[in-house]
Amino acid sequence: MGRFGQAAIVVAVMSLLAGCSSVPPGAEPDVGDPDAAAAEARPPGEIPADCEVDAAAPKRQMRGVWLTTVRNIDWPSEDDLSEGQQKKELIEQLDRARDLGLNAVFFHARPTADAVYRSDKEPWARYLTGTQGGDPGYDPLEFATTEAHKRGLELHAWFNPYRVGWNDPDLENLAEDHPLSEHPDWLITYDDQGWMDPGNPEVRAWVSDVVLDVVDRYDIDGVHFDDYFYPYPDEDGSDFGDDTSWKKYRGDFTDRADWRRDNVNQLISEIHNRIERRKPWVRFGVSPFGIWRNERTDPTGSATKGLESYDAQYADTRAWIQEGTIDYIAPQVYWPQGFDAADYATLVPWWAEQVAGTGVDLYIGQAAYKVGDDGWKGSDALSRQLDFNTDYPEVTGDVYFSMKSLNDVADDAIGKVAAEYYRRPALPPRATGDAAAPEPVTGLEAARSEEGVRLVWDTTGGARFHAIYRVPDNGAEDLCALADGTHLLAVVGGNATEGRQAFTDADPADGPVRYYVTALDDYRAESAPSPAARVDAGEGG
């Protein structure tokens, strides 16, 4: 999308700029066909379902990046920036994501049992002001969501469900209104960090309520958990100190590992079900450690020899896929092809097999931060992973860790990905649900000007995004041209109310073209296309 100069998107009443050679819908074209004008003014109907599509130009795909707030990894760069400086940095990050052809940002909203948003439940994260509970003067999650949507980007709110932070400085400086100040019995310290006890039902209810509070109050597109459930084992292999909750809440369980997995399973299922009841268009997904189990432990596991999330973190990710308690999974396959203990070329097919036929989407977590390390050398360090993915149609996207790395060590590598894989934009994946397709946009007009080709159209309101297509005008109209991403020009923000919306194609084609616009609703379901707006060949107005 960035290669078109990302023309300004204005949600306002706009008059059509004077154009030399455009033909507004309904006007008589100069081809001499008296029926053509009426044909162009008629709604063209749905895009046919039986079109042949180009697999190399997917219309829908997840192209995401994690935007990390913990320890100021990605944003804000420091914990003493002003509101204006924070907003400026965040806008720069979102612009960068858009210009790379990405379409989703996984925004770290709850890094350490605190909030990067205005909350009555948990204090402000210290990464905003240097002090936990310090008010930054605005709501970063609301600002990020609004600005992401303006740029045609999804915003998934990323939560750490149990992590409270590091002993120094987090546990030593908990704000007075922190939930653990009121419920110190919820805290378990392990290694150098503190954790909310996953075995305590009150903790599960609290975490679920925190997540649903955000779902209810913010116009987010997804809820996201990473790999932090029970903690990774420390170097000494010491056990997690949950004796109290094990004795009190184990019920009929006789094996503590099974009980721990059930604790996590209940949290995942409860959050998924609650989101489905409240806002079913908000997608729920997890990015777990890349190995579920090794086949030497379990014959259904992968041919790997690494840490097993099932046994080490009590995360039965395969069960979540099988039971449908997540909408997507983005395993952190942070190893290169050919790595003996955990080969990327082994794990991707294994994960593809797990999701096949389940309805759960699979995106691969990509280790952008490792570019330059052994196995990750060269500008093709990321693109060769995507090359491999093309053999597995179950893989429908990638998510990169993290934005900082895309801006430094992985700059060349993500640039190659953008040039080879993201030259065309992609619609975000559709949320499941039975909602009817949104109403088509109307009144699309197009005209050449010194800035490019200006498009304006009317909407009935409520569009989350708009998709803009540009198709060479070779005479006969064929809506199959809109069935894949070959002619997808841009994905831009929608508008909440009725009115006129505008976009400028700043890198227009020289020859005659037809433009179409569609609306995407909260489910990211796509409307029928607008009637075409034709623009003849020309060099300007």
Distance CA 385, CA 395 (A): 12
- The CA–CA distances, whole Å, from 226 to 82, 156, 249, 479 equal 29, 12, 25, 40
Residue 289 gets which letter from DSSP? B
Chain length of the chain: 541
* 478 CA to centre of own chain: 31
Q: Is a pLDDT exceeding 60 seen at residue 7?
A: no
pLDDT digits (tens, 9 = 90+) for 472-481: 998 888 999 9
What is the CB neighbour count within 10 angstroms for residue 55?
8
Q: Looking at residue 12, what is its pLDDT? A: 31
Q: Indicate the SS3 state at residue 48.
A: coil
State mean pLDDT over 81-106.
98
Q: Which residues contact 201 (CB under 8 A, 6 or more apart)?
A: 249
pLDDT digits (tens, 9 = 90+) for 113-140: 999 999 999 999 999 999 999 999 999 9
Q: Looking at residue 539, what is its pLDDT? A: 53
238-276: b (≥16 Cβ within 10 Å) or e: eebebeebbeebbeeeeebeebbbbbbbebbbbbbebbb
Q: Looking at residue 44, what is its pLDDT? A: 56
Q: Looking at residue 288, what is its pLDDT? A: 98
Paired tokens of 373? 């390390």
What's this model's pTM, rounded to 2 decimal places? 0.91
pLDDT digits (tens, 9 = 90+) for 248-265: 999 999 999 999 999 999
More confident residue, 41 or 178: 178
pLDDT digits (tens, 9 = 90+) for 391-449: 999 999 999 999 999 999 999 999 999 999 999 999 999 999 877 888 999 999 999 99
Q: Is 118 exposed, middle or buried (0-12, 13-18, 19+ CB in 10 A)?
A: middle
Q: Looking at residue 82, what is its pLDDT? A: 98
327 pLDDT tier (thresholds 50, 70, 90): very high
Task: Find the farthest-apart pair of alpha carbons in the chain and give their distance in angstroms, rounded.
Answer: 85
AA identity, residue 187:
L
Q: Is a pLDDT exceeding 60 seen at residue 3?
A: no
32 pLDDT tier (thresholds 50, 70, 90): very low
Distance CA 330, CA 347 (A): 12
Q: Is a pLDDT exceeding 50 seen at residue 17?
A: no
Q: Looking at residue 474, what is its pLDDT? A: 87
pLDDT digits (tens, 9 = 90+) for 229-242: 999 999 988 999 99
Average pLDDT, the chain: 91
pLDDT digits (tens, 9 = 90+) for 271-324: 999 999 999 999 999 999 999 999 999 999 999 999 999 999 999 999 999 999
Distance CA 324, CA 537 (A): 51
456 pLDDT tier (thresholds 50, 70, 90): very high
AA identity, residue 514:
R
Paired tokens of 59? 């219309």
Distance CA 464, CA 43 (A): 21
